[in-house]
Each structure stands twice: as C-alpha cells, then as structure tokens.
Chains A and B, each alone.
Chain A
Amino acid sequence: MKVLLCGYRGNPYSGGQGIYIYNLSRELAKLGVEVDVMVGPPYPDPLEEWANVYKLENLNIWAIKSKDIPVEKLKRVLATPWNFADYLLTRLHIFPEMETFSFRAFFALKEILKRKRYDIIHDIQSLGWATVPMKGYGIPIVTTVHHPLTKDREADLAGNRGLWDKTTTILFYPLIMQGFVIRRIDRVITSFTEGVDELWKAFRVKKKNVSVVFNGMDVDMFRNTGEKREENALLFVGNTEDSKKGLIYLFEAMKMLPDHITLTIVDDGPPKKLTAADMIKKMGLERRIKFTGKLTYEQLVSMYSRKTILIMSSLFEGFGLPAVEAMSCKTPVVVTTAGSLKEVVTPDCGILVPPKDPAALKDAILRLLADKKLRKKMGENGRKRAVENFSWPVAAKNTLEVYRDVIEEYGRGR
C-alpha cells in the first residue's frame, strides 16, 4: 500500500502532529506500507530512512510583528502568492498555515502524481480548503482530528476579556473552513469514542464517517527508570495557560490537602507564564507548588518515575497524553472523567473523578497517597494498558485497518 501523510508542521517538538507524523510513518513502514510524507516547516527529524519526504514552504510568521520577521523570511514574502497570503492573513490575525499548506500541497501533489500513485492520502488535521479539490485526483482522503478546535476556541473565549481579544480568537481558529472540509473527507480518525459525538456537535460529521483509533506514544522511551519514588509528591504535566486543564480546581484541592503534600508542574512559570503563578500566589500555595520549566524527554521520564501520582484536573481532553506517559512509567494517576480521559484511564490504573470537583480530587489523592500497595498495583496495570493500547505499533496497525476499510469502500463507490 502507498500512503501519503500530509501535515502543515512536521517537527516533533512543534506540536502533536509532528510527533504523530514521525511515529506513524515509521510504524507504517515497518508494517510494509510505502510511506511518503509532505510537510511544512518546522521540518521533521530525518524520516528518510523509512519515508520519502516532500518539504513544502511556509513562513511560520504567525504572531511575529513585521519588524521582527527574520530578513530571510521577509525576502520570501513576495516570492510566491501563498507566501504573500501567509503574510497578509497573519497581519489580519488569521492563522493561515492550514489554508496555504493545503494549496501548496494540492499543486505539489499534482506534480508528484505524474510520477507515482497513492492508494490513500492521510491529512493530519490541516483540513485546508484545497483538500476538497484534492479529491479530484481520485484518491481517498482520510484525516486525523484528535478533537475539534471548537473546544479550544471555547476555552480561549472563556478567558478573553474585551472585543479585541475575542475578535482575534475568533479569527485565529479556521472553524468555517474545517467544518466545510471535514464533511467532504472520506473518513475522519479521532482518538476517543466521545470524539465521534464531539465531531458531530462541532461540524456535523456523520458518525459512520468517523473511526476511533487510540493515539500512540513511545512506550520504550516512557518506561520506569527505577529511581526511588518520592512520597506525597504530586505531578502535573501540561500547558498552564490552557484553561481546559482546569488548574484552578487542582489548586483548590491542594488548599484542602495537608501542607506536606507538594505539587510539581512541568511547564514554564513566571516570567514566561503568569496565569498559574498568579492563582498560586492568590491562594497562598507558593511554598508547595513548583514549576520545572520545559524538560527534555529524559528529565520528563525521570519525573514521572519519581513522583507519587500524576494529576489531570482537565475540563476537556482530546487524548490525555500525560496520563498515558505516566501510566507507561508505572505511575498511578488521578484524572477527571473529561473527554477522552475516561477511556484512556481505566479504574485499575488510576482514580477517576468528576471534573470541576476539587473535593473529589482531594479525596482521590488522599486515598492513593495512603495506600502504597494500591499505587504499585495501579502502576503495574497502567504500564500494561499503555503497552497494549497506546503504543505506536498498535496505533499504526489500527490506522492501517482504517486505510484498508476506506480504500475498499472507495473502490465500491466508484
């Protein structure tokens, strides 16, 4: 089978889709699939060992003032219509990378198809306008959407004050485009069952057009280091500026917990990020909550292996990667039942509590901290669940099943 993976950002350190492209392409190749990858910058780590890589241009100048754009990029602004569109739209506070990537990909693909043929095209949550005419090439197209961006927009709008902030948020999210395009894609892959309903609510995507494939993660990298576990040490991993993480409820729970229980947050604190730090100060929790800043993978694995429990107080999650990473490192978790978390975490790997309920969060934390045996058992179960369900080989195998199904369906429909 010949597959083309398309993503507007390819670097594994620039967001989820880079990690997804890197690992999925590698595992698909291991399964005998001939994989080509078409990506925009930042470009991925070398994939050439298992895939052909087509690198497309993109200026990546969102949120950069004109005077601060590097001169090498400035020189390219007037070089192609898509670069100029990138520039103009970003000045109007629109995030155009998905749109312009889709047009660049459409024309690049036209050239590639003169030499070779694909059985399927897999778009990784770009859903740009030109994905629709791409169907004219006579190749089925699937897309991966972990969760609809409507959730992110709602979270941002909840935090915005004033017309200008709200206007820029609304302009940032290309929901009209994504809604139009996603309904015309042959199959949508999402990473949790509730995502099927979320996609219907957000974009009116028919349920029969959605397949659920759990996300993958690197279970070889995320394994317990054997370091000594700290006691009464809670861990939170995630973007503290994201109000979907429900940090306020975690802090309220911390206030109810005894003083010897501490929390480590893996993210930047002040001066880079102020929201969580302000909350902590207001609640008088400065002595008990610390920020680590950004960590390397090795440091993160060590952190998971040393801390007592991972906490996720989320109001919504499209997958819940920190929970799976912690499980993979044999760390028990306390998570809310929001979004995908209730599917990712089963009661034998952690404790699930309702979202927005600090008292329930506190009770669950106290219960686990008091029972070392239970923590150990949950840790073992978590590792087993992570390896069996959330490893990249499993994700690639399930994705390949979807490809086969779509190709067969497409063949019947022609």
Chain B
Amino acid sequence: MPRAKIWGILAVIVSAGLFAFSVYAVFFIAGNDGLNTLPVDLGEINTLTYFSVAVPVTAGALFVLGTGFWIGWVILSIKVVPPMPEIVEKKDNSKIKALLLCISTALLAAALVYGVYVRSFWALAIPAFVISAVVLGAVFWVGLAIITTRSTLPTDGK
C-alpha cells in the first residue's frame, strides 16, 4: 500500500477517534447527570489554573465571533459605488442578515464572557469542542480525500 494512503488512513482513524473521544468526554462524562450538574466545580479551581485555560479558549472563541461581527459590520457600513446597471436587480437583503449576524455574534460574545466570568463549564467546553471539531474535521477530510483519490502518478516515489 502506498505510504500516502497509510497516512490518510491514520489521519482518518486518529481524527475520528479524537472527535468521538471529545464528544464522549464533553457531553457524556461531564454531563452524565444532565447538563446542569458536573463532577467538578470550577469555582473551586485555583484562579490562575482556571484562567490559564479560560483565557486562550475565550480568546479563540472571541476571535471567531469577532470575525463574524466584523463581516456583518463591514457589510452594514461600507459604502461602495452603486452596482453597475448591468447587474440584474435582485432583492438583496444582505444588510438585514448582516444586522442579525452582528446582533447574534455580539450576544454570543456577551454570553461567553459572562459564562467565563461565572465559571460555567459550558462556556469553555462548547467553544473548545467546536474549535477542535473544526481542526479534526479538516484532518479527517484530508485523510479521506487521500484514501479515496486515485493517483495518476507512479507510486515508486520518483
């Protein structure tokens, strides 16, 4: 079997395994008594320890939410030359959607910051889970593409 295929299979197995593990760890172990009760009270963790995890996760999540807000804001605020007459006049409700994007990302960011402040487990777990799922998803997809793509090139490494 070509070495690339072996790497592809490994990427698929490892990323799928890690994703399954993170689902199990976040949603089953941590929340096995319902989403409100947790085996660990984050309030009891040393403040420095808590924020050493909370700050990078929050920064990552705020970066993503901030990007969403910024996109909405640019669409709302940018003044561009009017579309050329050749563009067929279609109903463009992107400004309304951009406003909704701004409002929803701002609300999510506020909820996140509040959640981190009150030391909610989910305020950290959900962003961390989403970010890692995106990265693992990308690795999985690359692996799958390597496995399923037929190479037209010789496989002798030349």
The closest CB in chain B to the CB of A158 belongs to B80
Q: Are the CB atoms of B84 and A243 closer together than 8 Å?
A: yes
B90: A residues at CB distance < 8 A: 161
Question: Taking the nearest CB of chain A, how far is it from the CB of B128, in angstroms?
Answer: 17
B81: A residues at CB distance < 8 A: 154-155, 158, 315
Q: Are the CB atoms of A163 and B82 closer together than 8 Å?
A: no
Q: Are the CB atoms of A75 and B94 closer together than 8 Å?
A: no
**For the complex, what is the distance from the CA of A161 to the CA of B92, rounded to whole Å?**
6
Q: Are the CB atoms of A66 and B141 closer together than 8 Å?
A: yes
- B48 on the A face (CB < 8 A): no
Q: Are the CB atoms of B86 and A167 closer together than 8 Å?
A: no
- A170 on the B face (CB < 8 A): yes
- B45 on the A face (CB < 8 A): no
Question: Taking the nearest CB of chain B, how far is it from the CB of A301, in angstroms?
Answer: 31
- B39 on the A face (CB < 8 A): no
The closest CB in chain A to the CB of B75 belongs to A166
**Among A43-51, A96-104, A274-282, which stretch is in contact with chain B?**
A274-282
**For the complex, what is the distance from the CA of A71 to the CA of B154, rounded to whole Å?**
12
- A285 on the B face (CB < 8 A): no
Contact residues, A256-288 vs B (CB, 8 A): 275, 278-279, 282
B34: A residues at CB distance < 8 A: none
**For the complex, what is the distance from the CA of A162 to the CA of B88, rounded to whole Å?**
13
A75: B residues at CB distance < 8 A: 4, 7, 146
**For the complex, what is the distance from the CA of A74 to the CA of B146, rounded to whole Å?**
6
* Total chain B interface residues with beta-carbon distance under 8 A: 38
The 8 Å CB contact of B149, one of A74, A162, A279, is A74
B153: A residues at CB distance < 8 A: 71-72
The closest CB in chain A to the CB of B4 belongs to A75
Given contacts A74-B142, A75-B7, A158-B80, is CB(A278)–CB(B86) below 8 Å?
Answer: yes
B67: A residues at CB distance < 8 A: 171
Given contacts A71-B153, A162-B92, is CB(A167)–CB(B135) below 8 Å?
Answer: no
A155: B residues at CB distance < 8 A: 80-81
Q: Mark B127-157, 1 if CB is under 8 A from A, else 0.
A: 0000000110011011001101111110000
Q: Are the CB atoms of B80 and A157 closer together than 8 Å?
A: yes
Contact residues, A123-179 vs B (CB, 8 A): 154-155, 157-163, 165-167, 170-171
A315: B residues at CB distance < 8 A: 81
**For the complex, what is the distance from the CA of A157 to the CA of B92, rounded to whole Å?**
12
Contact residues, A57-83 vs B (CB, 8 A): 66-67, 69, 71-72, 74-75, 77-78
Question: Taking the nearest CB of chain B, how far is it from the CB of A253, in angstroms?
Answer: 14
Q: Are the CB atoms of B75 and A159 closer together than 8 Å?
A: no
Question: Taking the nearest CB of chain B, how far is it from the CB of A256, in angstroms?
Answer: 15
Q: Are the CB atoms of B71 and A167 closer together than 8 Å?
A: yes
**For the complex, what is the distance from the CA of A87 to the CA of B141, rounded to whole Å?**
11
**For the complex, what is the distance from the CA of A26 to the CA of B101, rounded to whole Å?**
50
A71: B residues at CB distance < 8 A: 4, 146, 149-153
Question: Taking the nearest CB of chain A, how far is it from the CB of B19, in angstroms?
Answer: 15
Q: Which residues of B contact A (CB under 8 A)?
A: 4, 7, 11, 67, 70-71, 74-75, 78, 80-87, 90, 92-94, 97-98, 101, 134-135, 138-139, 141-142, 145-146, 148-153
| 7 sample A-B contacts, Cβ–Cβ < 8 Å, listed by A number | A66-B145, A67-B148, A155-B80, A157-B75, A159-B84, A161-B92, A248-B86
Give the 3 A-B residue pairs with the shortest CB-CB distance, closest first: A163-B97, A158-B80, A163-B94
